[in-house]
């Protein structure tokens, strides 16, 4: 199975988890959501409109907006994910789970939706709705996807209290917050990148060891110390959290006095690095 097919399959799995979260945990407890799904839920509670129909129609409009602002590949992947979410929204509720402790389905739904979004995002898609707006916010404003989505989702969730009641509106906020934070944690844990800057008197030895170990590009930057006016090359590279853990003992074995700075990277662009973190 090639990478393209794996990504399409991953989006289907993510759409399944998202659809199950809505259909089996949110709707039976009259809990809302944000973005298009939140509007679809309101339409279902107030007018009895099937959420899968609302999901397709409303997202089609947003995908038209995204078509002019985002990569065409993302738009296609988003359409693929939206179609499958609508399919899974039509699945019968075999679980038939209801409880008076409604914080439980709100939290479980948030976790399922966060994990589903993680799979869809990692495969290069979105679920349209607020995720298209979140993608735009991430790309053009530098916001984290989860945070950008949360802002747009709350714009729908808070007014929904007039339909589902104040308590269920608060549960909706809990679900959205859980989803956004879990999504950010997953992306941080599995896809986070670090920038590493190294100043050492043994530049050639350290660079060679890093290159042999990491098997990736490393940049040398000409620099001059202000106090001693001494020129030397700084080592700069982008790597994962796991690679950072291996870098420190490697550098220490060569130069115990090396100066190393590690920073979080919010976004990168390159052939082998994910664009959105």
pLDDT digits (tens, 9 = 90+) for 112-153: 999 999 999 888 887 887 767 776 777 777 777 667 777 888
Q: Are residues 59 and 187 in the same domain?
A: yes
Are 75 and 104 found together in one domain? yes
Query: Residue 109 pLDDT more than 70?
Result: yes
β-sheet with 231-240: strand ranges across: 219-224, 231-240, 193-199, 259-265
Residue 267 has pLDDT above 60, yes or no: no
Residue at which a domain ends, from 128, 160, 191: 191
- C-alpha count within 13 angstroms, C-beta hemisphere, residue 214: 25
Residue 94 to residues 23, 97, 103, 114, 185: CA-CA distances in angstroms? 10, 9, 21, 22, 30
Assess if residue 48 is contained within a domain: yes
CA distance 84 to 12: 6
Q: Average per-residue pLDDT in the chain?
A: 85
19-63 tens-digit pLDDT? 999 999 999 999 998 888 899 999 999 999 999 999 999 888 888
**DSSP label at residue 216:** S
Q: In total, how many domains does the chain have?
A: 2
Q: Domain boundary residue among 191, 218, 253?
A: 191
72 and 128 inside one domain: yes
Domain enclosing residue 253, as ranges: 193-265
Strand partners, 232: 223
Same domain, 221 and 114: no
- Domain assignment present for residue 208? The answer is yes
Q: Indicate whether 143 and 180 sit together in one domain.
A: yes
Query: 15 and 93 share a domain?
Result: yes
* 160 and 216 both lie in a single domain: no
Residue ending a domain, choose from 138, 172, 191: 191
Same-domain pairing of 177 and 208: no
């Amino acid at each position: 199975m090639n990478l393209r097919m794996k990504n399409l399959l991953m989006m289907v799995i993510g759409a399944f988890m998202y659809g199950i979260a809505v259909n089996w945990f949110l709707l039976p407890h009259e809990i809302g959501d944000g973005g298009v799904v939140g509007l679809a839920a309101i339409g279902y509670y107030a007018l009895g409109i099937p959420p899968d129909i609302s999901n397709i129609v409303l997202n089609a409009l947003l995908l038209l907006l995204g078509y002019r602002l985002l990569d065409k590949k993302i738009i296609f992947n988003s359409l693929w994910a939206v179609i499958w979410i609508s399919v899974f929204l039509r699945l019968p509720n075999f679980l038939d789970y209801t409880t008076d402790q409604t914080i439980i389905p709100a939290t479980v739904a948030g976790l399922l939706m966060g994990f589903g979004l993680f799979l869809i995002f990692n495969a290069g898609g979105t679920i349209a709705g607020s995720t298209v707006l979140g993608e735009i916010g991430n790309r053009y404003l530098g916001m984290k996807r989860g945070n950008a989505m949360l802002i747009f989702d709350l714009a729908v969730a808070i007014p929904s209290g007039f339909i589902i009641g104040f308590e269920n509106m608060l549960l909706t906020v809990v679900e959205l917050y859980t989803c956004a934070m879990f999504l950010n944690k997953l992306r941080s844990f599995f896809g986070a990148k670090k920038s590493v800057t190294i100043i050492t008197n043994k530049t050639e030895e350290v660079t060679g060891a890093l290159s042999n170990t990491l098997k990736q590009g490393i940049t040398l930057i000409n620099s001059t110390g202000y106090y001693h006016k001494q020129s030397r090359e700084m080592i700069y590279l982008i790597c994962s959290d796991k690679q950072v853990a291996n870098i420190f003992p490697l550098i220490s074995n060569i130069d115990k006095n090396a100066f190393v700075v590690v920073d979080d990277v919010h976004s990168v662009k390159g052939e082998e690095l994910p664009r959105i973190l």
